Amino acid sequence: MRISISLSYPARGRLASDAVLDVAYGWLCHRRRDYPADADVWSFRRHWPGEKRRIQADLFAGDFRFGLLDRITLKDGSDIDLWSARDALVLKALAIVLSDILPVSPRCTHVRDHGGAKAAVRDNLQESAVAEKLASVTEIDFDSAIETVSEAEDADLPLGFGRD
């Protein structure tokens, strides 16, 4: 699958920089440290200097290609789809660069200093309370409208005119 990354030259340069790729590489090594011996991450780590140069060249040229996802069966029998080590590293590098460019919503509670799980639960409870209030108001208005229509029909009056 070919995906063209349309970033400004400075952003593309940052994406392919040693600093960003090394941070992404550290993340990848940490995340996949317990993967089995036949996982692609071990070969990728052994050949990191060459892989890094190829990734940088592809990113600078705007010609990086993501591979297909691999379906992996876990010990518990469930299946997951997994990016290759190379693709996961580039996606992490892209996330690092974009996090400096794109604004982050305060509602993203998974981001540091945005409240975490407690804030997510608190916000959800507040929204539920507001939704319940709106639902009760809607029910009252709906009941009132039905009553008005019924009164108008009973008195053979045009809608909007009830009995005094």
Range of the domain at 36: 9-101
Q: Does residue 1 form part of some domain?
A: no
List of the chain residues with pLDDT < 70: 1-7, 9, 128-164
For position 164, what pLDDT does the model report? 46
pLDDT value at residue 144: 64
111 in the same domain as 74: no
Burial (Cβ within 10 Å: 0-12, 13-18, ≥19) of residue 162: middle
- What's residue 116's pLDDT? 74
Domain assignment present for residue 4? The answer is no
pTM above 0.75, yes or no: no
Report if residue 49 sits inside a domain: yes
Of the three residues 101, 135, 152, the one that is the final residue of a domain is 101
Among 76, 101, 126, the domain-final residue is: 101
Classify residue 114: in a domain, yes or no. Answer: yes
Count Cα atoms within 13 angstroms, Cβ side, for 141: 6
Q: What is the pLDDT of residues 79-99, one digit of tens each?
A: 999 999 999 999 999 999 988
- Three-class SS of residue 2? strand
**So what's the pLDDT on residue 77?**
94
**74/87 same-domain check:** yes
Same domain, 96 and 121: no
Give dist(CA 75, CA 41) in Å, integer: 19
Q: Report how many domains make up the chain.
A: 2
